[in-house]
Amino acid sequence: MLACTLLASSVISAASPNALAGAPPTEFNEATVADLQARMAAGTLTSVKLTKFYIDRILTLDQGGSGVNSVIELNPDALVMAQKADDQRAKGQVLGPLHGIPVLLKDNIDTGDKMQTTAGSFALAGRPALHDSTLAAKLRAGGAVILGKTNLSEWANFRSFFSSSGWSGRGGLTRNPYSLDRNACGSSSGSGAAAAANFAAVSIGTETDGSIVCPGNVNSVVGLKPTVGLASRKGIVPISHTQDTPGPHTRTVADAAAVLNVIVSRTPDSDDPATSGVPLGWQGTGRTRPALPADYTAFLDAHGLSGARLGVTRQGIDNAPPQVVAAFDNAIAAIQAAGATVVDLDGAGFTFASADGEFLVLLYDFKFDLQSYFATRVGVPMANKTLADAIAFNSAHAASEMPYFFQEIFELAQALDTSGSDPGNNPQPIFGGLTYNQALAIDHTAGVNGIDAALSQFNLDAVVAPTDSPGWTTDLLLSDHFIFASSGLAGGPGYPIIQVPAANVLGMPMGISFLGTAFSEPTLIKLASGFEAATHARFQPTFTGNVTTPNTAGTTLIKPKPPKKDTENAVGRGGHGLRGRPTHRLGRSRSGWVPHSRQCSRCAAPSVWWSSTSAPSVRPRRNGSRLRPASTS
C-alpha cells in the first residue's frame, strides 16, 4: 500500500520546458503527509532527504521563463530546519503531524527569518518581517520545515479590476502546471500550482473570496478555506479583517485536515480578535464559538457521503460549455451513487441572499488594515506608510509594478470618506450613499438568509456547488475569464469551504465545493473525504506548453505549384504582374532583333516581344519559360 502511494508520476511530458535540466525527481510524488510520516518513523526517510527532493524538483520544473514559476523564494535555512527535525525525531521528539514535512507559504505570510514577505510587490521588498506570523510560528512549533514562499496575484488580487491572476511585479507570472499557457487562478496562485506540481507536501494560501478554492479548482488539489477566525491572521498582509483567512492546498483531504490541526487558534490570539469570536454571519444571532476538535483527521471517512443530505446549487454553471456542465452533473451523480440524498435547491426555488455589501466592506477594511500592517514593517518602502503612499509608489515605479494593469481598486479604497470619529457611518457617494456599517449588515444577512437558511429549511448537512470553471488561457491584456463561481456564498459571512478535485475536462482540472455554516469543518471534511474516496478524481500535471486535444491540428496544406510561364503572363514581357496589374512595356530595339505584337487577351493592351532574325524559330528555355517562335509572315 505504501509503495503504491509513493510511485512516481506515471507521465512527465517528454516536452518538459526544463528538459535540459534533467529529468525531475519523482520518488515522492503524490505521497501523503501520513505516508511520509510513516516512512520517517520507520527510518527509511529523513526530512533532509525529503527537503532536498522538493528543492531539486522545484529547481528542475519551476524555474526559468517557461517553468511553472510558482515559488518566489526558497528558504536558505530549509535544510537546517530539516536537520533539526531529524535530530528531534532521533530523540523521540515528534512535535505534530507536520514534523519534518516541507511546507510552502504564500508570499503575504510573515516569516521572521531571511525570506521576504512582499505580497508580490516591490513596495514591501527589503528587510524581512521582524517576526513570524502566528501561522508561521505554529508551523515552526509543530516541527514543520518552511521550505519557501509562493508567488501570488499581487496584493492578493486587490489592486485592479483588470488584473491577471498569478501575476505580481516581484514574482512574475505563475503558470498552470496542467497547461503552461493556462491560468493558475488566484490570488493563491503559486500555492495551488506548487501543491499540484508536487513541489511540497503542503502549501498554504489565503482567501478573502475565492483565493484558496479557485486555485484548488484549476490545479486539481484540495483547497480548505476555514471559518474566518479559526486560524489567526496576525502577520498576514491583509485585505479585510472581516473576511480574510489562511488555509491549506494539499493533494488529499486527509492532508488538509492534518494542516488544520496545526494552524487553528485553540486559544485567542490577542492580535486577532476574530480568534475569540464568531464570523460576520453569526454575529447578532446568539450563536457562540464552539469548542474546537482535538483532531480534525478523526472526521475523515471514506463512506462520508452515505446517508448525507446535500443541497445542490448550480451557481451559473449552465452558462458554461457542455463539457463543463456534464462534469458537474457527473460529480453530483457520484455523490448520489455514494449514498447521499441530493436536494435541488435551484429547482425548489431557493435563492441565496447576495452579499451586496461585500465590495464596500473590503475597500473600507483594506484602507485601515493595510496601514496597520505597514506599521509592523521596517526597512521596506511602505514601512509606517499608508495606502496613499502605496498608490504613489506604484505610480513612480509603473514599469515594474503596472506594466499590464493599473490600480483602480487601490484608488477606490483611498477615495472612501473615512473622516471623523465614526467613519463607519459615513455615506459613501460611490456606493450610492451606503455606509460601511450598512454594508456589513447586508453581508451578515447573506449568511443568515443564504447558507444558514438553506441548511435549516431543507435539513441539509451542507451545500454543494461547482467551484469555478476550468483554467482559462492567460491573457495579460484582456484579464481573467470567469464564467461562474460559488465562493461568494461563503465569502461575505465568513463561512468555510472545501474544494475537492472532481473532473478532467479536456485535460484541465475542475472541482466541486462543499460549503457549510461557521465552524462546520468536521462535517465538510467528512463529506469531502467521502467524495474523494468515491471518485479519485485528482490527476497529475504534465507541464506541457498547452493542452493537447484531438481534432485541433487542422488539415495538412499542400503548397500550390507555380503555373508554367508564358510570354503573355511574364512580368516585364507584356504579361500581368504578381498583383494582377498590367506590366506591359516595349522592349528596347537591338541590332538583329525584330518586334512582334498582338493585343493582350486580358486587357487589350499591346503585348510585344522580340526575336532574332538569325535565331531558330524556337529559342532555348530561359528562366524556366519557353519563348514564342518568331513570326514567319
Same domain, 216 and 348: yes
Catalytic residue list contains 66: no
Catalytic residue list contains 106: yes
**What values do phi and psi take at 567, rounded to 5?**
-70, -25
Q: Which residues pair with 144 in a beta bridge?
A: none
Q: Which residues pair with 203 in a beta bridge?
A: 104, 249
Same domain, 246 and 118: yes
Q: Give me the pLDDT at residue 324, please.
A: 98
Q: Return d(Cα 228, Cα 281) in angstroms, integer.
A: 10
Domain contains 563: no
Domain boundary among 535, 562, 589: 535
Domain contains 425: yes
In contact, 265 and 272? CB cutoff 8 Å: yes
Domain boundary among 535, 554, 589: 535
Domain contains 33: yes
Domain contains 550: no
C-alpha dist (Å) from residue 417 to 373, 435, 462: 20, 10, 39
As averages over each run of 10 residues, the pLDDT of the chain (633 residues) reads 33 35 85 99 99 97 87 98 99 99 99 99 99 99 99 99 98 97 98 99 98 99 99 99 99 99 98 98 98 98 99 96 98 99 99 98 99 99 99 99 98 99 98 99 98 99 98 97 97 99 98 99 99 99 81 79 68 44 43 52 52 45 37 41
Q: Please name which of 163, 311, 225 lies closest in space to residue 499, comparing C-alpha atoms.
A: 225
Q: Return d(Cα 542, Cα 15) in angstroms, integer.
A: 9
Task: Collect all residues with Cβ–Cβ distance below 8 Å to 124 and sequence separation of at least 6.
Answer: 116, 117, 118, 237, 377, 380, 381, 382
Q: Name the active-site residue from 189, 211, 265, 487.
A: 211
Same domain, 295 and 373: yes
Q: Return d(Cα 61, Cα 580) in angstroms, integer.
A: 53
Same domain, 491 and 603: no
Same domain, 250 and 385: yes
Q: Name the active-site residue from 47, 106, 179, 265.
A: 106
Q: In which domain, by residue range, is 603 found? A: 572-633
Same domain, 335 and 275: yes
Domain contains 456: yes
Q: Give me the pLDDT at residue 547, please.
A: 74
Same domain, 615 and 477: no
Catalytic residue list contains 513: no
Domain contains 552: no
Domain contains 541: no
Domain boundary among 535, 561, 585: 535
Domain count, the chain: 2
Helical (H) or strand (E) element with 261: helix 253-263
- E strands, 18-161, in order: 71-74, 102-106, 145-150
Same domain, 49 and 174: yes
In contact, 158 and 409? CB cutoff 8 Å: yes
Task: Collect all residues with Cβ–Cβ distance below 8 Å to 195 and sequence separation of at least 6.
Answer: 104, 202, 203, 219, 221, 249, 250, 251
C-alpha dist (Å) from residue 109 to 203, 237, 366, 391, 497: 12, 7, 16, 22, 21
Q: Give me the pLDDT at residue 605, please.
A: 54
In contact, 254 and 32? CB cutoff 8 Å: yes
Give the domain CATH number at 316. 3.90.1300.10
Q: Give me the pLDDT at residue 555, please.
A: 76
- With vertex at residue 566, the alpha carbon angle to CA 560 and CA 569, rounded to the nearest 5 degrees, is 75
Peptide bond into 168 cis (omega under 30): no
Q: Name the active-site residue from 153, 187, 203, 232.
A: 187
The DSSP call for residue 410 is H
Domain contains 564: no
Same domain, 104 and 209: yes
Tell me, letter by letter, the H, E, C secondary structure of 420-474: CCCHHHCCEHHHCCECHHHHHHHHHHHHHHHHHHHHHHCCCCEEEEECECCCCEC
Task: Collect all residues with Cβ–Cβ distance below 8 Å to 31 and sequence separation of at least 6.
Answer: 5, 6, 201
Helical (H) or strand (E) element with 217: helix 213-218
Same domain, 475 and 590: no
Helical (H) or strand (E) element with 326: helix 322-337
Q: Return d(Cα 172, Cα 310) in angstroms, integer.
A: 41
Same domain, 519 and 622: no
Read off the amino acid at residue 292: L
Enter the C-alpha cell of residue 299: 472526521
Same domain, 580 and 433: no
